[in-house]
């Protein structure tokens, strides 16, 4: 059926429903019949795909080549072990990735959206996925339309359909049926489509199609949600490619040098392949994904829901947090502290009632349910409740003065109006920001304006949000129901002062930001003086140099003018959401990394453009949530700061295992490559290298992801997102440790060969293994000594080290393993020597940290700047 040419009643009949909605039983039955209201996931990862993914790795190919070569030269046993390791590695990789996938899936479930529907006449929230044809949905500005719908009631309804039709701009929607004809999607003015968003007004609508039956579903196959790659993963990918090339060069170099020296090619080939294996840190990208996904899980526990994985990694780079005031920095618990009434306003038609209190009660969208619970925006609730307490209840007053129409609040106009029937005509009530109302007053008020402004400013300077009221009486309903026509020639009734106390934890979080080199900036639609008073209470403004800028002042600045001050502005007052974009781009042009919060529909562009867009979980609209990278489940500023702290820790830990794995690989390469130049045989077999890469690197490497935050985590400047991972001396560290580990391995080998010990190879192998473990322990912190951290502060690491030592002893002392891994049991003395030699690496890293600490202490005594 073509729903757009049919009458609303015919649509209801066709869908076997009514304006009261379906009952629960019918809804359940239809859900079973039509399936969930979801787009089929074309990219659902199957278990097989995941496994296949593991096998398609470059490293696996190299390993398979190694196995092939082993068979070729008659080493079937080695080939078997290599193959076993390939399988094991694939399984471990698979388990890791599966866990990461599950973690992300759980997060997506948390982010699942709800829709307001009428079921059996009662409004209730249901999961969007559970909507069925015939359901009656309630829509308002900020909602994403959850299914294809036909409107049956619409008030000032506007919908942004650009996501579907590609045409930007808002489409006004109606309920009238269209004359029979062919209409393109964009012209079906009484239909709403899944995935488009309501930008204005509100509506009631019948669901006509769900899931893959919707217009969005029809094109869903065309929309491929690309797999996200974080900046770090991208850089690691490049690094991996470079290392592969390096591995090939080193491998072939080794082969040709040996060939020229007349060594047997079979041995050379095996060692060359071992070298290539040693150089490839193929486990790294997977480890990064896993720790990002697990990190997202951890963030969840601190009430920050990650929607886009890269945010986990980039949180640590934030330099500016631009945040809404109401509800985020404050409690959003408004109370009216007092009224100011203009004396002697003559407003007929109210039957002797107080005009200001009547306006408070009638000009509101707040409702009071039978259990005396107030619902609605906190400003609205505070005002309506105050009136109700003075015996001016909304419900009671709407009987003599029924509402005829409304002009909803919007944050650009900063006003809202309602129109009511009275015996003497149509009463227009307007409330809003005092500044916005001044321009709408009758000319008779010109004389009082100075006095009014003074009174309002005095209240604002004490931190009050001031809402002013105006009114007028019209003989009949105006023909033109637009703000420009209705909100004019008003009589000023008075104003109410509302207090919204700042959050205590926000004040601490602001202080924490400042020591962490992050600048908190307040953005609000409120009065300049109100905003400034609250900002001072929270510590956001603490000196004369820190500026407060209003929207109109910002609009008057040109680009260079704004660029000159943007880094000093701490409060933006009376801004409209469109200006958020300008703030972001000005900061980004100064190389700042900007986190920006938002809740409304018109915040969506800012949320998309910020480096990290943060939507409110409680007060935020769905449109804002979909645009954001992170959702604050508790709408609390302190949570943002906590997320930054987590982000820094996660990034730190990723860097730690990059250090660990690359330094270990460097050690292996140097040992393999350099031994022949000292006239020594090849110290290690391919199997040994594989063992080290898989077990000795893998287990402790993973445990590094569990390392708690460094103590000075929030006392240092943010991570510069432009800096490479090799900044901060990482390259030198890898080279230094590589030379040390390689050198110790070769020294061990040379010494035991010299002493005529038959187990020299096992000894060299053990030194390499144990030195990696020592490094893993020491590398846990960038600066603190392991003795001050304590072994127990990272139990997974302790477990990984103990397990790795146990496994190593297993392959040294179990005869079958000796056979398979070409190892020999060491005597206790030999074992002791290898441990002692290997421990050098541990001590060297500890000493390096001691030097870092000494130097760090020297740096701290210099005057440090908190800005970046
Ligand atoms: P915030 O940044 O604090 O969320 P808003 O955009 O909600 O600011 O509000 C901006 C201004 O609009 C307020 O200072 C107030 O004067 C006015 N205002 C807020 N809510 C309403 C409302 N429900 N009706 C009329 N005016 C309002
Ligand atoms: Mg608000």
Residue nearest to atom 20 of ligand 1 (CA): 379
Distance 377 CA to ligand 1 centre (A): 10
| Mean pLDDT, range 405-422, rounded to an integer | 91
The pLDDT of residue 859 is 53
Mean pLDDT (the chain, rounded): 87
User: What is the predicted pLDDT for the residue at 672?
Assistant: 87
How many whole angstroms separate alpha carbon 470 and alpha carbon 472?
7
Query: Catalytic pick from 324, 500, 599, 611?
Result: 324
- Across 486-497, b (16+ Cβ under 10 Å) vs e yields bbeebbbbbbbb
Q: Please choose, from the candidates 764, 739, 594, 579, the residue with its C-alpha nearest in 3D space to the C-alpha of residue 670.
A: 739
CA of 285 to the centre of ligand 2 (A): 42
User: Which of 211-220, 402-411, 593-602, 754-763 shows the lowest mean pLDDT across its residues?
Assistant: 211-220
pLDDT value, residue 268:
80
pLDDT above 90 coverage of the chain, percent: 53
Residues with Cβ within 6 A of ligand 1? 324-326, 377, 379-380, 409, 411, 414-416, 431-433, 465, 467, 524-527
Residue 135 a catalytic site member = no
Ligand nearest to the CA of 597: 1
Question: What are the structure tokens assigned to 684, written together?
Answer: 């290690």
Query: Mind listing the pLDDT tens digit for each residue in 85-107?
Result: 777 777 777 777 777 777 777 77
pLDDT at 84: 79
- The answer to whether the CB of 744 falls within 8 A of the CB of 837 is yes
CA of 704 to the centre of ligand 2 (A): 43
pLDDT at res. 224: 43
Instruction: List the chain domain ranges.
Output: 3-41+107-223, 319-331+503-635, 335-499, 655-861
Give nearest CA residue, ligand 1 atom 10. 525
800 close to 703: Cβ distance less than 8 angstroms:
yes
In the sheet with 425-433, reading across from the earlier edge strand, the strands are 335-341, 491-499, 465-474, 425-433, 415-422, 403-410
Res 864: pLDDT: 36
- pLDDT band at residue 464, thresholds of 50, 70 and 90? very high
pLDDT over 60 at 702, yes or no: yes
- Average pLDDT rounded to a whole number, residues 422-447: 91
For residues 620 and 600, what is the distance between their CA atoms, to the nearest angstrom? Answer: 6
> What pLDDT does 769 receive?
94
DSSP at 617: S
**Best probe residue, ligand 1, of 323, 365, 526, 571 (max atoms within 8 Å of C-beta):** 526
Q: What is d(CA 737, CA 510) in angstroms, rounded to the nearest whole number?
A: 40
Write out pLDDT tens, residues 237-247: 777 777 778 87
Tell me the C-alpha to C-alpha distance, in Å, between residue 252 and each of 66, 77, 269, 605, 818: 14, 25, 9, 53, 30
Which of 411, 435, 532, 624 has most ligand 1 atoms within 8 Å of CB, for mutation?
A: 411
CA 80, 770, 786 angle in degrees (round to 5)?
140
Q: Which protein residue has the closest C-alpha to ligand 1 atom 13?
A: 526
- pLDDT at position 88, please? 74
Atom of ligand 1 nearest to the CA of 414: 12
603 close to 580: Cβ distance less than 8 angstroms: yes
Query: What are the pLDDT digits (tens) for 282-327?
Result: 567 667 777 888 888 889 889 999 988 888 888 999 999 999 999 9
800-842: per-residue pLDDT in tens? 999 999 999 999 999 999 988 889 999 999 999 999 999 999 9
Residue 735: pLDDT over 70 = yes
Ligand 1 atom nearest 377 alpha carbon: 23
Question: Ligand 1 pocket: which of 435, 437, 440, 467 to mutate (most atoms <8 Å of CB)?
Answer: 467
Phi, psi of 328 (to 5 degrees): -105, -50
* The CATH fold of domain 3-41+107-223: 2.70.150
What pLDDT sits at residue 863? 38
Nearest CA to ligand 1 atom 4: 326
**Can you give the pLDDT at residue 612?**
94
**Which protein residue has the closest C-alpha to ligand 1 atom 2?**
524
In this prediction, residue 860 has a pLDDT band, given cuts at 50, 70 and 90, of very low
Give 707 Cα–ligand 1 centroid separation in angstroms. Answer: 44
Is the pLDDT score of 148 beyond 80?
Answer: yes
Categorize the per-residue pLDDT at 49 as very low, low, confident or very high, splitting at 50, 70 and 90: low
Work out the average pLDDT over 192-198: 90
Atom number, ligand 1, closest to the C-alpha of residue 433 = 16
Task: Read off the DSSP letter of residue 694.
Answer: I
* Ligand 1 centre distance from Cα of residue 433 (Å): 7
The residue ranking higher by pLDDT, 837 or 212, is 837
Query: What is the per-residue pLDDT for 627?
Result: 86
The predicted-structure confidence for 754-784, as pLDDT tens digits, reads as follows: 999 889 999 999 999 999 999 999 999 988 8
Q: Give the confidence band of 571 by pLDDT, cuts at 50, 70, 90.
A: very high
Helix (H), strand (E), coil (C) string for 55-86: HCCHHHHHHHHHHHHHHHCCCHHHHHHHHHHH
Phi/psi for 19 (5° steps) reads -60, -20
Q: Are strands 197-209 and 136-140 parallel, antiparallel or unpaired?
A: antiparallel
Best residue for ligand 1 mutational test, from 324, 457, 525, 606 (most atoms within 8 Å of Cβ): 525
330 Cα: distance to centroid of ligand 2 (angstroms): 11
Q: What percent of the chain is modeled with pLDDT above 70?
A: 94
CA of 326 to the centre of ligand 2 (A): 6
Please calculate the CA angle 809-691-768 and round it to the nearest 5 degrees. 70
pLDDT in tens, 641-668: 999 999 999 988 988 988 898 899 899 9
CA distance 633 to 687: 49
What is the structure's pLDDT at 225? 46
pLDDT at res. 47: 65
User: From the CA of 190, how far away is ligand 2's center (Å)?
Assistant: 30
Centre of ligand 1 to C-alpha 197, Å, is 22
Q: Compute the distance between CA of residue 190 and CA of residue 31 in angstroms, rounded to an integer.
A: 25
Distances (CA, A) of 216 to 1, 135, 222: 18, 18, 10
Q: Tell me the pLDDT tens digit for each residue of 670-700.
A: 998 888 888 888 888 878 887 888 788 878 8
Q: Which residue would you say has higher pLDDT here, 73 or 483? A: 483
Mean pLDDT of the region 493-515: 95
> Whole-angstrom Cα distance, residue 786 to residue 180?
79
- Tell me the pLDDT band of 865, cut-offs 50, 70 and 90: very low
Closest protein CA for atom 8 of ligand 1 = 525
| Average pLDDT, integer, range 485-497 | 94
CA-to-CA distance for 564 and 574, rounded, in angstroms? 21
Which CATH architecture best describes the domain 319-331+503-635? 3-Layer(aba) Sandwich (3.40)
**Distances from the Cα of 129 to the Cαs of 148, 627, 796, in angstroms?**
13, 20, 39
Domain 335-499 fold is Calcium-transporting ATPase, cytoplasmic domain N (3.40.1110)
CA dihedral 763, 767, 768, 772 (to 10 degrees): 150
Per-residue pLDDT at 184 exceeds 90: no
CA of 465 to the centre of ligand 2 (A): 11
Give the position, in ligand 1's atom list, of the atom nearest the Cα of 365: 23
- What was the pLDDT predicted at 494? 95
Q: pLDDT band for position 508 (50/70/90)?
A: very high
**What's the fold here for domain 655-861?**
Calcium-transporting ATPase, transmembrane domain (1.20.1110)
Give residue 46's pLDDT.
Answer: 64
Looking at mean pLDDT, say which of 272-276, 445-449, 830-834 comes out highest: 830-834
Which ligand 1 atom sits closest to the C-alpha of 468? 16
Q: Which of 328, 330, 376, 414 to mutate to test the pocket of ligand 1 (most atoms within 8 A of CB)?
A: 414
The per-residue pLDDT for 862 is: 38
Beta pairing, strands 415-422 & 403-410: antiparallel
| Nearest ligand to residue 465 Cα | 1
Question: Which of 443-447, 570-574, 841-845 shows the lowest per-residue confidence on average (mean pLDDT)?
Answer: 443-447
Q: Whose CA is nearest to atom 9 of ligand 1?
A: 525
Confidence of residue 69 (pLDDT cuts 50, 70, 90): confident
Which residue's CA is the closest to the ligand 1 atom numbered 5? 525
Whether the CB-CB separation of 169 and 595 falls below 8 Å is answered with no
Q: Please tell me the number of the ligand nearest to residue 414's CA.
A: 1
């Amino acid at each position: 059926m073509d729903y757009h040419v049919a009458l609303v009643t015919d649509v209801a009949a066709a869908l076997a429903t009514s304006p009261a909605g379906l009952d629960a039983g019918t809804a359940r039955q239809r859900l079973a019949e039509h399936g969930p209201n979801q787009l089929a996931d074309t990219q659902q990862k199957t278990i097989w795909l995941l496994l296949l993914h593991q096998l398609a790795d470059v490293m696996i190919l190299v390993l398979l080549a190694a196995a092939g070569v082993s068979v070729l030269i008659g080493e079937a046993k080695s080939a078997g072990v290599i193959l076993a390791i390939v399988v094991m590695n694939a399984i471990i990789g698979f388990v890791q990735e599966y866990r990461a996938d599950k973690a992300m899936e759980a997060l997506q479930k948390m982010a699942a959206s709800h829709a307001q529907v009428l079921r059996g006449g009662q409004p209730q929230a249901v999961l969007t996925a559970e909507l069925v044809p015939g359901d009656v949905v309630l829509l308002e500005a900020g909602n994403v339309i959850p299914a294809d719908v036909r409107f049956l009631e619409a008030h000032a309804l506007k919908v942004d359909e650009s996501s579907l039709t590609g045409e930007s701009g808002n489409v006004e929607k109606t309920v009238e049926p269209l004359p029979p004809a062919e209409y393109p999607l964009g012209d079906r003015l009484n239909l709403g489509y899944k995935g488009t968003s309501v930008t204005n007004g509100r509506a009631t609508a019948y669901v006509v199609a769900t899931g893959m039956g919707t217009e969005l579903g029809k094109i869903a196959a065309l929309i491929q949600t690309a797999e996200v790659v974080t900046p770090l993963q991208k850089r690691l990918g490049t690094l991996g490619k470079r290392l592969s090339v390096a591995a090939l060069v080193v491998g072939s170099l080794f082969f040709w040098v040996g060939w020229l020296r007349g060594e047997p090619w079979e041995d050379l080939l095996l060692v060359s392949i071992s070298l290539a294996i040693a150089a490839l840190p193929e486990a790294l990208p997977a480890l990064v994904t896993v720790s990002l996904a697990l990190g997202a899980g951890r963030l969840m526990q601190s009430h920050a829901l990650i929607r886009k994985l890269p945010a986990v990694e980039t949180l640590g780079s934030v330099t500016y947090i631009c945040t809404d005031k109401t509800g985020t920095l404050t409690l959003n618990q408004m109370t009216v502290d007092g009224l100011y009434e203009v004396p002697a306003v003559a407003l007929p038609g109210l039957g002797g009632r107080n005009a200001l209190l009547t306006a408070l009660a009638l000009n509101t969208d707040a409702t009071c349910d039978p259990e005396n619970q107030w619902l609605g925006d906190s400003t609205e609730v505070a005002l309506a409740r105050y009136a109700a307490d003075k015996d001016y209840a909304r419900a009671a007053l709407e009987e003599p003065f029924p509402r005829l129409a409304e002009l909803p609040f919007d944050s650009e106009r900063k006003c809202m109006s309602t129109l009511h029937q009275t015996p003497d005509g149509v009463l227009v009530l307007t409330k809003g920001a005092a500044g916005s109302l001044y321009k709408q007053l009758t000319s008779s008020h010109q004389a009082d304006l100075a006095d009014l402004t003074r009174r309002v400013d005095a209240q604002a300077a004490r931190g009050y949000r001031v809402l002013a009221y105006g009114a007028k009486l019209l003989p009949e309903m105006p023909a033109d129901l637009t703000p420009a026509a209705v909100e004019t020639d008003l009589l000023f009734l008075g104003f109410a002062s509302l207090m919204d106390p700042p959050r205590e934890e926000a004040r601490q979080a602001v202080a924490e930001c400042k020591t962490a080199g992050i600048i908190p900036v307040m953005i609000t639609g409120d009065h300049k003086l109100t905003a400034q008073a609250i900002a001072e209470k929270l510590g956001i403004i603490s000196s004369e140099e820190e500026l407060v800028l209003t929207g109109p002042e910002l609009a008057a600045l040109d680009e260079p003018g704004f660029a000159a001050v943007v880094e000093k502005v701490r409060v933006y007052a009376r801004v409209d959401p469109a200006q958020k974009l300008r703030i972001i781009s000005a900061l980004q042009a100064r190389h700042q990394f900007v986190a920006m919060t938002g809740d409304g529909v018109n915040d969506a562009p800012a949320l998309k453009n910020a480096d990290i867009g943060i939507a409110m979980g409680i007060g935020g609209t769905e449109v804002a949530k979909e645009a954001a990278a992170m959702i604050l489940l508790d709408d609390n500023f302190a949570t943002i700061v906590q997320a930054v702290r987590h982000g820094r820790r996660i990034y730190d830990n990723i860097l730690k295992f990059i250090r660990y794995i690359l330094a270990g690989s460097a050690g292996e390469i140097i040992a393999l490559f350099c031994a022949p130049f000292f006239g020594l045989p090849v110290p290690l077999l391919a199997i040994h290298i594989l063992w080290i890469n898989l077990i000795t690197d893998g287990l402790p490497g993973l445990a590094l992801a569990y390392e708690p935050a460094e103590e000075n985590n929030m006392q240092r400047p943010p991570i510069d997102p432009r800096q490479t991972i090799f900044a901060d001396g990482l390259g030198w560290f890898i080279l230094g440790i590589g030379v040390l580990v390689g050198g110790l391995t070769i020294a061990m080998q040379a010494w035991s060969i010299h002493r005529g010990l038959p187990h020299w190879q096992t000894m060299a192998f053990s030194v390499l293994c144990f030195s990696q473990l020592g490094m893993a322990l020491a590398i846990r912190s960038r600066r603190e000594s392991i003795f001050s951290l304590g072994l127990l502060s990272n139990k997974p690491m302790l477990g990984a080290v103990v397990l790795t030592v146990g496994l190593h002893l297993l392959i040294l002392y179990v005869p079958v393993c000796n056979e398979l891994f070409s190892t020999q049991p060491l005597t206790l003395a030999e074992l002791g020597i290898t441990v002692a030699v290997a421990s050098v690496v541990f001590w060297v890293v500890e000493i390096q940290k001691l030097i870092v600490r000494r130097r760090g202490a020297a740096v701290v005594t210099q005057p440090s700047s908190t800005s970046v």
